[in-house]
Amino acid sequence: MRTPSWLAVVFSFLPSKRTNKIVTPRTQSRNASRNGRTTESTTPRTQSRNASRNGRTTTSEPTTPRTVGETPTSGGGDDRATYLKAFDESKAGVKGLVDTGTATIPSIFVRPREERLKDYEISSKNISVPTIDMNARDERTKNIVAKELTDAAKEWGFFQVVNHGIPLDVLENMLEGIRRFHEQDTEVKKPYYNRDYHANTVIYNSNHDLFSSNAANWRDTMSVNTLFTNGHYDPEDIPPACRDAALRYIKEITNLGDYILSLLSIGLGLKPERLGELESTKGWSLSCHYYPKCPQPQLTLGLNGHADMSFFTILLQDQISALQILHENQWVNINPISGALTFNIGDTLRIISNDILKSVYHRVIARDIGPRVSLPFFFNGTFASTQMYGPLKELTSEENPPIYREFTLAEFMTYFLTVKVDELGVDHFRLK
């Protein structure tokens, strides 16, 4: 296969002689909550071990070509900048690299060795997040489901739901539509390639933080974002390859989001509509991730470790296991369940609940199988909202005072959108 000119530029920066390792260890620590509940304990900002076919990892350091993950002694940052520029301007994404048949990953994707060595272990225990049956037939079972959801959100911050009411064909058509979009010719996708999230509702690119992160992630993304449009978007902006499937899915998932929010309100002892009054489902973003098969999955990640800034997130994923959450200082695999959806609490709802609910550090490992398709739907509220947000008065008391200060969503989103995806932002709003 003839190497495209842009890829020739990328691989021209793989050195063959004297090199220096990229040394940028990055670690994070979450503060424990007031009542001793585990929030996010000491965590690296990015993590991964050797990804095996079953989604687990080994502890041995990978044997790799000396040039992979290293930068030339001469040029340094300038060479990396040229490398990144060539990759971005190709608009071909990670899939474009895979299509060339490369057996090694370019150095911009390689995590520093120090990060890999400091990574947490994968849990060897047979544990998993709760799976909750949402088939509430009457008021009594509805209250039972509400308690199960809330208990899972308190202990895990993540859970899977079945019998959620969205038809299986809606889920399958959405996954297939997104796969179809990403597997089109690069020239068809190029018109959507952009990095201006304020000016465009629909954007396709690879790594929104490509130029600020220490190592790029092994994925491409098409997103539909209504944070800055008060929940409005033009259906015609969605690519034809997935438009019909996406429109039906968006309608179904927003209805489900409203319902789950009412159940969480009940579980917290609030009136059913209380969390809905915060307008968290008014603005949203849908990230349609495509994770190609990776030739060296032990060296990179599909998505860096992070906690979502959203009120909450509902995830649709295919049957390839790659999502992991940090639980008791170990990575726990969230293995897909056919027809299920995965729900997680975001930092906004964590703050509003005054740390009663957990927002959990999670990541996506790279795999040597694939491609994998994963679609997180973030309920964020809207940038234009003038409402003040902070711990609800109903959930605070003299014995349990507010832990966080109040803020507008514009302030909250602006802060989170200016830090790297793997940086911790919730402590910025914590009362001293």
Res. 432 pLDDT band, cuts 50 70 90: confident
Predicted local confidence at residue 39, as pLDDT: 37
Taking only the tens place, the pLDDT of each residue in 75-130 is: 356 788 999 999 999 999 999 999 999 999 999 999 999 999 888 888 877 789 99
Digit-coded pLDDT (tens) for 362-394: 999 999 999 999 999 999 999 889 999 999 999
**CA-to-CA dists, residue 160 to 202, 344, 385, angstroms:** 28, 9, 30
Span 176-191, average pLDDT: 98
Q: Partners of 158 in the beta sheet?
A: 344
Helices then strands, each counted (H, E), the chain? 10, 20
pLDDT at 401: 97
Helix (H) / strand (E) containing 364 = strand 362-365
CA distance 240 to 305: 32
Using CA of residue 10, residue 99, residue 208, residue 52, what is the dihedral sign? negative
Q: Tell me how far apart the alpha carbons of residues 303 and 219 are, in angstroms, rounded to a whole number.
A: 8
In the chain, where are the structural domains located? 5-429
Q: Say which CATH topology domain 5-429 has.
A: Jelly Rolls (2.60.120)
> Which amino acid is present at 316?
L
Please compute Rg for the chain using Cα positions.
21
Query: Among the listed ranges 9-18, 94-103, 230-239, 398-407, which one has the minimum average pLDDT value?
Result: 9-18
- Residue type present at position 255: N
Q: How many CB atoms neighbour CB 79 within 10 A? A: 17
pTM tops 0.95, yes or no: no
DSSP 404: B
CA 415 to chain centre: 17
Residue-level pLDDT at 421: 58
Question: What's the CA dihedral at 202, 204, 205, 209 to 10 degrees?
Answer: 20
Mean pLDDT of the chain: 85
Tens-place pLDDT, residues 253-292: 999 999 999 999 999 999 999 999 999 999 999 999 999 9
Report pLDDT digits (tens) over 145-177: 999 999 999 999 999 999 999 999 999 999 999
